[in-house]
Amino acid sequence: MRIRGIGIRSFGSLRDRSYAVSDGMTVFHGPNESGKTTTMEFIRTVLVPSSKRNQYPEREKTDSGTLTYEQDGETRTVRLVQKSVEGERPALPTGTDDPQLFRSVFAMTSRDLDDEKVLTEGGIRTSFLTVPGGESMPAARDAATERWEASLGRRSNSRSRAISLESEMSDLDREIAQARSVADQYGELDARRRELISRLNGLESESKRSVEAKRIHDVYESNRGNYERLESLKSQREALGGFVPVTDADRAEFERLKSESVQTQSALQSLTERRGREEADLMGADRRRVSAHAKAIEGLPGRLQVYRDDSKRLRELQDADRRIVVEPQPRPKQGRGSGGLGLVAVGAVLAVLGVIAALAVEPMALALTVVGAVIIALGMRRPATVEQPMQTVREPGKSAEAEGVRSRMSSFEDDVMSIMDDLGVDSFGVEDDVSFLLRARDAAVALGKTDNEIMRARMDQGAAGNRLLSFTQRYAGEEGFRVSQEKTARAAAIDREIAVLRDAITKAGLDPDVPECPVPYEGDTVTGEIGEARQEIGALEERMKAILDTRELERMMDRRAQLESEMHRVLDDGAVGLLASAIADAACDEIYSKVQPGVISTADRYLSMMTDGRYRIDTDPRLKELSVRSGDEVKPIGAWSSGLRAQVLLSVKLAVAKEMGGGEVPVVLDDVLLPFDSERKAGACRALSEMSSEMQILLFTCDRETVDICSSMPGVSLVRMTEA
């Protein structure tokens, strides 16, 4: 299978990108943020989708694109639509469509390349890096070796049973010989005892003279850690290399410029959101058409008020025929109301008489008073009136007025409807239409102002970005600034700790610039000799006491016989283990020297191409780790430099990809050559170019040197990528 073309409509930060891919090796190059990693992730997502969360770039509902490939002589296309892949996906060899394995072997970033666990653990090691059936041989050899080493020992000072028995037997032999001759040696033992006592006195005197030297040496030993830490800090300080120091003012300026860039971006986003709300007020109407009717819309509120007044007037005219009511004239009724004044006078007289009579006869007074009040009331009633019937008069000219009102209202409605029709918006009534037109006019005016503000905001954002870029240029970008900031802080911390250590060493009376002890001191050997002398004196005194005691000699002879019997048994067991170990070791050497897995052979060929024959794969399947050979020197993985590590892992993973994919699965690499120096890059590019005849290779890089090397190689296609 070969990839023919990549078409990205929308994925991450990329929009409308398309790239052609050659059969052999294609190098995609461009500056940072040009979408190299995003394009690689697009290929990985389409070929072998992963359900892993928190992927880069973050998946969006707008993700879409195509990948065109050729397989079995036919060209097919698969499509990415949001999070699903549509179309006939390429048929990949068994096992290569596992998302984690695909990203660890076939489509690697520099971080994926550095992961050696995929090679040293799990199924890949068992399937490709070991000899089938040979894994049990080292265990058998180790068991046999452990058996004979425990019995016989590998060296003369090993803690084996045979050596322990031999040592005990030798000690017994000496003690037996001594016991047999003790009677003749009593005088010699006494002389030796006196000699040791004299030597002990001399050693104790010498021990006192070395006290000062020991004190100085102890001070030096207590500061040895300070010396070692001081040298380590100096190395760390030197390892920081050259960098542009970052001052507090630089940090403040960076934070200010960064904040300014974020604020301008936020302002632009806010204006864009405001524009969306203003555009929504148009309800789909064309802004230019709304602006064209702006003057007419401006006069609608005044005309609407007239329209309301006309509507009210028309209802008044239509209620009924207007009537002019003539107020009725009151007319007194004949024969009623005459003589009123007389009745009032009579009533008043009777009331007065009633009051006077009250002073004499109470019942009579009350009656007179009541009669007088009634007569006064009758006399004060107004004459009755008769209402005349209401007259109705029809006013001329009202019908003409109604027609005029209707005409004005119809004209206003037609004008409003004409504007609504021109804008292509449905009418909901004059009141709602006028309200909508006023909002639409305001929105059209606001949109014009907002567009101008957006233009200025974009200019401000660009200017802020340029200022930030200009400031960080001497640090090689924002990431470089952060690295320089970290190095500046680290250098300051190292310098402070160095000053503290130098001060502590100086106060101890030592020279911080001279890491050696100022006085020679070989250790406290005198104390050990004193102890040995005292121990030997004690042993001599015990032997002198036991000269005439033969029971100890008999006990030692019995023990000697027991040890000799056990020695024969241990030697037999050790001989069996040694022979089994030799047989197993010879079998392992035969298997692993003549039988090598195919992947190891392929990886060895790739590494030889990358290193121009300097290094070869020297992996022993009996060991878990990988190793390489340079001449007679074998380097395990822990002794590799970062560049050699990248070369070996790239060689082995490409060999695994070749073995698993059979050359049918394209290999996609994203900046995997960054750990390589110039010489290693050239070798790796040559090797990749030659490998591209066996399998398709897509290399993404931002390194100019890598591009220059590949541009001079025949058959390598270069694809320039621009910033997203």
Query: Is the CB of residue 144 less than 8 Å from the CB of residue 580?
Result: yes
User: Which pLDDT belongs to residue 129?
Assistant: 60
pLDDT < 50 stretches in the chain: 320-341, 343-344, 352, 355, 358-367, 370-371, 374, 381-394, 396, 594-595
Q: What per-residue confidence (pLDDT) applies to 318?
A: 82
Compute the CA torsion angle 268, 269, 270, 273 (nearest 10 deg).
Answer: 120
In angstroms, the CA 500 to CA 226 distance is 10
Rounded (to 5) percent helix, strand, coil in the chain: 65, 10, 30
For the chain, which domains are there? 2-131+596-720 (3.40.50.300), 139-210+524-575 (no CATH), 211-320+414-425+433-523 (no CATH)
Alpha carbon distance 427, 436 (integer Å): 10
Q: Which residues pair with 99 in a beta bridge?
A: none
* Residue-level pLDDT at 390: 45
Residue 372 Rama label (left phi>0; alpha psi -120 to 50; beta): alpha
Distances (CA, A) of 565 to 152, 173, 560, 671: 15, 15, 9, 70
pLDDT, residue 571, reads 84
CA–CA separation, 578 and 595 (whole Å): 25
- pLDDT score, position 123: 61
Q: Residues 136, 138, 141, 145: is their CA dihedral positive or negative?
A: negative
For residue 493, the model assigns a pLDDT of 92
Do strands 667-670 and 697-701 pair parallel, antiparallel, or not at all (unpaired)? parallel
Bridge partners (DSSP) of residue 720 are 29
Contact 256, 468 (CB under 8 A): no
How would you classify residue 444: left for phi > 0, otherwise alpha for psi between -120 and 50, otherwise beta?
A: alpha
Contact 695, 658 (CB under 8 A): yes
Cα–Cα distance, 379 to 342 (Å, whole number): 7
pTM value is 0.42
What was the pLDDT predicted at 184?
64
Q: By the 8 A CB rule, do 156 and 163 touch?
A: yes
The CA distance from 405 to 563, in Å, is 140
CB atoms within 10 A of CB 382: 9
Helix pair 678-691, 642-661: axis angle to 10 deg: 10
Orientation of helix 161-180 relative to helix 136-151, angle to 10°: 10
Q: Look at residue 114 and give its three-state secondary structure.
A: coil
CA–CA gap between residue 23 and residue 170 (Å, rounded): 79
Residue 466 CA to residue 471 CA, distance in Å, equals 8
Contact call for residues 718 and 710 (beta carbons, < 8 A): yes
Q: Where are the alpha helices (DSSP H) in 76-223?
A: 99-101, 110-113, 117-120, 123-128, 136-151, 161-180, 182-209, 211-222
Q: Find the largest Cα–Cα distance for the chain.
A: 193
Report d(CA 526, CA 531) in Å as an integer: 9
